[in-house]
Structure 1
Amino acid sequence: MARSKVTENGAIGASCVTPDDYARLYRALRTLSAGNRALARAPDEQTLLQDMCNAIVEQGGYRMAWIGYIEHDEHQTIRPMAHAGVEEGFLQLLDLTWSEQSATPSGLAIRTGTPQVGHDVLHDPALAKLFEEQKRRGYAAVSAYPLVIDGEIGGNLSIVSSEYNAFGEEELRVLSELAEDVAYGISALRSRVRHQEVEAAMHRMAYYDQLTGLPNRTLFLDQLGRMIASSSPPFRPFTVGILNVTQFREINDVLGYQQANELLLQVAARLQPQIDQGYFLGRVSDNEFAILQPNTDAERASQEAVRLLRQFDEPLTVAGVQVDARLRIGLSLFPGHGQEPDALMRRATMASRQALRSAVNYTIFNGSLDKECTRHVSLIAELHHAIEHDELRLYCQPKIQFDTGKLCGAEALVRWQHPERGLVEPDLFIKLAEQAGMITSLTHWILEAAFRHIYTLEQAGRPSPLAVNLSARDLLDPRLAERIRGLFLTWGIDPAHLQFELTESALMDDPGGALATLNQLKALGVQLAVDDFGTGYSSLSYLQRLPADTIKIDQSFVGAMIADQESDTIVRSTIDLGHNLGLHVVAEGVENRDIWNRLATLGCDIAQGYFVSRPIPVEQFDSSWHATLAA
């Protein structure tokens, strides 16, 4: 056979060493050296393959060299990746396959995993149809080497010589080492590429929003820091904008997170074409985008805000539904509003919150917002201290029956007499407690104080029901009912003397969850009242399912019923509705005799308001309220 392969001991066949053998060995070593240089310098895989083929031909003096990769297709194709030397379309003439039918050196090398040699290709029967083509190109001998890449055969290196009986034992060993180097270089470059891909993926995860592909908050702050550094000194003004997407949370709650994500993708797609060169757009929170506008003063920033807002005059389509998702934009300006990234972002965010209440839907930050925020932060810390150190005070606002004029209970109210600020408005510190996640702590304080007060009244023989307000967040607390059950065990009071008031709007935040919590509370034997009735848009079917005992007509309707016929109609209808459902009806906001008389005429059950009594400290309620009634 003209073709041979290396045996286990490396012997190819008995031969004596000749000067030609030494010359060929030297050629192989020169090729190996050139290949090592190519290996060290190649920046990528394709360059390595081509440089290796070039080195084999140019430095080694071989007639032709080529490298192929295997395909795992039906034909088991060998795909040429690089070649050098006298090729002239020869590879296109070959049936390049590594299947069982292939008898070519390249196919055999891949299939067997061992080097293959054809010492005289012009007399090899397997290559008979290519005799003329090989002769014309000066091909006399060929060797092929498997490329073992990452532990698996992935291709071949094939070298053609113009000399018969080339590729002796030592030459073959050197060229086999070259093939191993090529395979090692391919593995190393692929490993480098994989490492770079991992680094790129980690960089993208760290600095880019996974949904929209925009820079995330981290990268946006980095860019903002660089812009500050490059803009001062001399100070060159620029704008930070926070763009708040309205309707995001509603769509997330009603349609689901996938549709909410689709909304954000459409917002991003509508924003990006509007961003001028040099601007920087990012997504910095769930429903907030941010933009940096260089070389922009207040007037230009306002113009840009109006331009962006106009892009959302047309609704977006989400899940086949048209959504009027508009932007609210808050702006802060460098250097006037700060020279630190956090300060500029915080003030732009504050302005965006203010923009929710703005008729033009955008707001430029002003100092009063910052002062208000600073005051609120200080109040939150002081409120936490007041709750922890029992510095709050319990007040009661009495309720009386229309038909008898007698006391029938009171509403528990919390007051905060600040040692320096004076009396802090309840609407302010209760709202702050909700925003700061402290409402549960505040509710716990009120519950403790209410149970203590009810116990005191029972011990004095003057029991009177006391109503405690629960917030929407309280209703979401899975431990609420258990905590109240524990208070009943601690104080031993009669559950009939405790009532819970829940605003209609709080009930409608999560109707199913609220109903489950109310049933748990009702099982404790307490009374339940729906507060601010008429403002929460609850359905009659839902109201019928509630285990409520009382509804309280919102004071906005009660206070206006004398002067406003529609308010009077609402109050009258609510009283009738409550009685038809078997509920007691309380009117809150009874401020004068005219309102009292009208409510009495309509058959309302209970009155609460300044005409009855202002809220009074719990200590005074214990000692003086009954005397006032007796008088």
Structure 2
Amino acid sequence: MELAAQNFRPTVLMVDDDETLLSSVRRTLGRNFNIVTYNSATMALSWLTKNQGSVDAVITDLMMPDMNGIEFLQQAFLMAPSVPRLLLSGNVSSGALRDAINWGMVSRVLAKPVSPSVLREALNDSISAPLPWRQNRNISSSLVLEALENNQQQIVVQPRVLARDFSIVGGEVLSRFGVLQRRFGLDEIIGACEDHPVINQLTSNVLNLLEQSAQDVQPKLGLPARISVNCSPYSLSNMDFVQFLVQRVLDLRRVNIELEFEITEHNAKVLSGPFIRHARYLKEQGIALLIDDFGTGNNSIQLLRHDFYTGIKLDLGLISRMMTEVLDDSFVEWTVKIAHKLGMSVIAEGVESLDVARKLQKYGVDEMQGYYFCRPTAPADLRVDHLVANAAS
């Protein structure tokens, strides 16, 4: 099953009282973007209130009957501050430019009339513009999309074991990009598209590759095999994509794979209204959500207040430091106690020695994952028959 193509295209909210222009933009740019148009700024704001988590760019005319474009962009900024804002104007005066930058906080001002090619380029640049720390490396969401379209994404699987006896209980599926990783780190690749529609395509590919590998994975990791997959909070802010995930969970259950989704805790969208609503919906569907990289950002404790998470994954850096850093060691012990009081399981990533594994057993961790047990491996090459014996020796 493939997700509808429009969910992989950036969603652009365009507001202009010129219906001819809106119709032209929908027709000429509809293959590149999911264009949502309104000729009323008030109606557009009402739509944005409900869909702030799924929009990727906002573009508006400066002069409209019910509200000027700068005032509209101010309100759009309050609803979706991280979404790029573009302003169209038939009179791009210095005053309009100053107001647009200071009050509308726009990323681009375009003069009317604007050609489809110029508008397309401006939208692509605004949506895909790399963050400052990525500019020297030239990694962007467009480059990741190109790799996906050229079938350069693969998956590997890393088993998870029960802490009490090191028996196999499931695993995590991770992405690899052979060609792209010769130039960039995996964190850079994922980071370049984590808040862009390309991440939906990436996640969809992972699930397709997992389903194709079910015969290799399922017999080795349990019946059913509990497999976790990383999912961006950006993706879970889009209800269409959430519905797609629910269907993929059902598809994979038919081949004895039970999906769990790992949500990175440092992403700001984990605190947004759309994400929280959709996460609760997934819980109602019986789908497990895990807090990934717990202990690395500022949201860790706040996320424990939500009842839709079923477990947490302690960050591998935290685990690697717990043998030498008293603070990290105490934090791990405290986290396990709190999580269990809240009815959540605890999975430790990055376990690389028996000493670390024994300490985690002492603290009551439920599951472990790391090089001590098995490195991430291609599904066809996965061997688990020797893991328990090697881990206990």
For residues 376 and 410 of structure 1, what CA distance do their matches in structure 2 show? 29
The offset of 1:618, in angstroms, is: 1.7
1:252 aligns with 2:78: yes
Gaps of 5+ in 1: 1-202, 213-247, 256-271, 273-279, 291-341, 358-368
The offset of 1:498, in angstroms, is: 1.6
The offset of 1:415, in angstroms, is: 0.1
For residues 259 and 252 of structure 2, what CA distance do their matches in structure 1 show? 12
- 2:330 aligns to what? 569
Matches within 5 A, 1:421-570: 422=182, 424-434=184-194, 437-454=197-214, 456-458=216-218, 462-463=222-223, 464-493=225-254, 497-506=258-267, 509-538=270-299, 543-570=304-331
- 1:36 aligns to what? none
Aligned partner of residue 465 in structure 1, secondary structure:
strand
1:456/1:487 Cα in 2 relative to 1: closer, same or farther (>3 Å)?
farther
Whether the aligned pair in 2 keeps the contact of 1:281 and 1:289 (CA below 8 Å) is no
What is the TM-score when the length of structure 1 is the normalising length? 0.40
For residues 371 and 563 of structure 1, what CA distance do their matches in structure 2 show? 35
The offset of 1:629, in angstroms, is: 3.4
1:488/1:572 Cα in 2 relative to 1: closer, same or farther (>3 Å)?
closer
1:480/1:251 Cα in 2 relative to 1: closer, same or farther (>3 Å)?
closer
Aligned partner of residue 481 in structure 1, secondary structure:
helix
1:204/1:575 Cα in 2 relative to 1: closer, same or farther (>3 Å)?
closer
The offset of 1:556, in angstroms, is: 3.0
Whether the aligned pair in 2 keeps the contact of 1:550 and 1:586 (CA below 8 Å) is yes
Q: Which has the larger radius of gyration?
A: 1
For residues 357 and 250 of structure 2, what CA distance do their matches in structure 1 show? 40
1:417/1:283 Cα in 2 relative to 1: closer, same or farther (>3 Å)?
same
Moved more, 553-562 or 519-528: 519-528
The amino acid of 1:430's aligned partner reads I
Moved more, 496-505 or 473-482: 496-505
The amino acid of 1:287's aligned partner reads M
1:450/1:526 Cα in 2 relative to 1: closer, same or farther (>3 Å)?
farther
The offset of 1:389, in angstroms, is: 4.0
Q: 1 or 2 for the larger relative contact order (CA 8 Å, sep ≥6)?
A: 2
- 2:388 aligns to what? 629
- 1:376 aligns to what? 139
1:556/1:456 Cα in 2 relative to 1: closer, same or farther (>3 Å)?
closer
For residues 475 and 284 of structure 1, what CA distance do their matches in structure 2 show? 31
Whether the aligned pair in 2 keeps the contact of 1:455 and 1:491 (CA below 8 Å) is no
The offset of 1:433, in angstroms, is: 2.2
Matches within 5 A, 1:62-211: 211=70
1:370/1:478 Cα in 2 relative to 1: closer, same or farther (>3 Å)?
closer
Aligned partner of residue 334 in structure 2, secondary structure:
helix
1:205/1:384 Cα in 2 relative to 1: closer, same or farther (>3 Å)?
same
Aligned partner of residue 479 in structure 1, secondary structure:
helix
For residues 433 and 482 of structure 1, what CA distance do their matches in structure 2 show? 21
Gaps of 5+ in 2: 1-60, 82-94, 109-120
Moved more, 560-569 or 528-537: 528-537
For residues 473 and 461 of structure 1, what CA distance do their matches in structure 2 show? 29
- 1:587 aligns to what? 348
Aligned partner of residue 626 in structure 1, secondary structure:
coil
Aligned partner of residue 289 in structure 2, secondary structure:
strand
The offset of 1:538, in angstroms, is: 4.4
1:390 aligns with 2:216: no
Whether the aligned pair in 1 keeps the contact of 2:252 and 2:259 (CA below 8 Å) is no
The amino acid of 2:193's aligned partner reads A
For residues 195 and 368 of structure 2, what CA distance do their matches in structure 1 show? 32
Whether the aligned pair in 1 keeps the contact of 2:294 and 2:313 (CA below 8 Å) is yes
The amino acid of 1:443's aligned partner reads T
1:249/1:501 Cα in 2 relative to 1: closer, same or farther (>3 Å)?
farther
For residues 460 and 560 of structure 1, what CA distance do their matches in structure 2 show? 31
Matches within 5 A, 1:260-271: none
1:563/1:456 Cα in 2 relative to 1: closer, same or farther (>3 Å)?
closer
1:376/1:628 Cα in 2 relative to 1: closer, same or farther (>3 Å)?
same
Whether the aligned pair in 2 keeps the contact of 1:503 and 1:532 (CA below 8 Å) is yes
The offset of 1:459, in angstroms, is: 6.7
Identical aligned residues as a percent: 22
Whether the aligned pair in 1 keeps the contact of 2:249 and 2:259 (CA below 8 Å) is no
- 1:287 aligns to what? 105
Cα displacement string for residues 305-338 of structure 1 (whole angstroms, at most 9, x for unaligned residues): xxxxxxxxxxxxxxxxxxxxxxxxxxxxxxxxxx
**Count of aligned pairs between the two proteins:** 295
Whether the aligned pair in 1 keeps the contact of 2:264 and 2:291 (CA below 8 Å) is yes
Match of 1:409 among 170, 181, 196: 170
- 1:298 aligns to what? none
Whether the aligned pair in 1 keeps the contact of 2:270 and 2:276 (CA below 8 Å) is no
1:629/1:204 Cα in 2 relative to 1: closer, same or farther (>3 Å)?
closer
Whether the aligned pair in 1 keeps the contact of 2:170 and 2:221 (CA below 8 Å) is no
What is the TM-score when the length of structure 2 is the normalising length? 0.62
The offset of 1:495, in angstroms, is: 7.3
For residues 245 and 166 of structure 2, what CA distance do their matches in structure 1 show? 32
The offset of 1:447, in angstroms, is: 1.7
Aligned partner of residue 616 in structure 1, secondary structure:
coil
For residues 76 and 166 of structure 2, what CA distance do their matches in structure 1 show? 46
Matches within 5 A, 1:322-361: 354=132
1:393/1:530 Cα in 2 relative to 1: closer, same or farther (>3 Å)?
same
The offset of 1:579, in angstroms, is: 1.2
The amino acid of 1:252's aligned partner reads L
For residues 607 and 461 of structure 1, what CA distance do their matches in structure 2 show? 14
